[in-house]
Amino acid sequence: MNLSKTATLEFEETGQLQLVIKHKYSSKRIDKYLVSRLQDYSRSSIQKLIKEGAVKVNNNAVKNNYEIKLNDAISIQLPEKSDDHITPEDIPLDVIYEDEYLMVLNKSPDMVVHPACGHASGTLVNALAFHCNTLSALNGPLRPGIVHRLDRDTSGAILVVKDEKVHKHLALQFEERTVKKEYLAVVKGESELDSDKIDLPIGKDKRDRKKMAIRHDIGKNAVSIFEVIERFPGYTLVRVILETGRTHQIRVHMKTIGHPVIADSEYGNSDACCIEDLTKPVSNKDIHSLAKLTELCNNTSDPIIERQALHAYKIGFTHPVYNKAMEFTAEIPKDMHNLIATLRKIKALLN
């Protein structure tokens, strides 16, 4: 769905954001809608703003479960922009590897990598400031230690740098495309191909500057290679290897070939996935085979996953100090694990 057509949006000098809903939704909670529109804010921070009364609809405070309606006027009082100071926060980190020069983490879903647009807390950088005595400052005061990034709702392996000389070497590896980046994704549709190379340029979407799109005119070279790991009724688990690292690359490429990532609010048709969604591709003659489906979940309409089913599974690079090839894998988080497990149960019931 093209979000630029779903609402008009204006910023005021007071730091207030104004939106008017121009699309009729069958059912859309305001917290989920704002998460899809404000990419620099985590779901928890949006819900906090709503709870504090900083979000109003038609001049009235609402709750997180308020369902937006056509022509609703939404006003959001955004937090004041922070200065360059990073406040250390005792946020748990899932450390895969660490030495005196760098560390590899398994980033959790719904965690913004660095402060932006007034989002000054709860980020990976806030956690790093608490846990690390030193971090590379090459990317500026708001991005200490950050040499690359992951989207807020993409989980998985992320590399953090403590030393500036090491940072320069690793940045060069990213630039020369020698860093190995491998992702796992659950996508809609059963891929007919076992593997394929997607070579399509990516640039800013003409109609929505927050999104990316295939742009043959101004787009930058973007190459993804996907391999099928497992097929399910109506869905596919794929491994995606990136040869380039464009913003939203996997999400844009997979959508373009007709296999959008599950629960991708920007490039798919929904921001969550439940058992009811997973059984829609099943033919009527197979419905009786799913009689035991209620055993999989207490409520088939409860979301299994509420963010894009995309996980940075593996990262490989050459350690600048030890001159040693290193490769690390990040464990799949619970929500995506449950999604895959549920698809396997449905597949087994139909066999």
Known catalytic residues are 151
Query: By CB neighbour count within 10 A (0-12 exposed, 13-18 middle, 19+ buried), where does 33 fall?
Result: buried
Q: Do 259 and 187 meet the contact criterion of CB atoms below 8 Å apart? A: yes
Helix (H) or strand (E) holding 254: helix 249-256
Nearest Cα to 34, choosing from 19, 15, 52? 19
Burial track 273-295 (b if 16+ CB lie within 10 A, e otherwise): bbbebbbeebeeeeeeebeebee
CA dihedral 97, 136, 326, 156 (to 10 degrees): 60
Q: How far is CA 84 from the centre of its chain?
A: 25
CA distance 109 to 158: 12
CA distance 315 to 88: 26
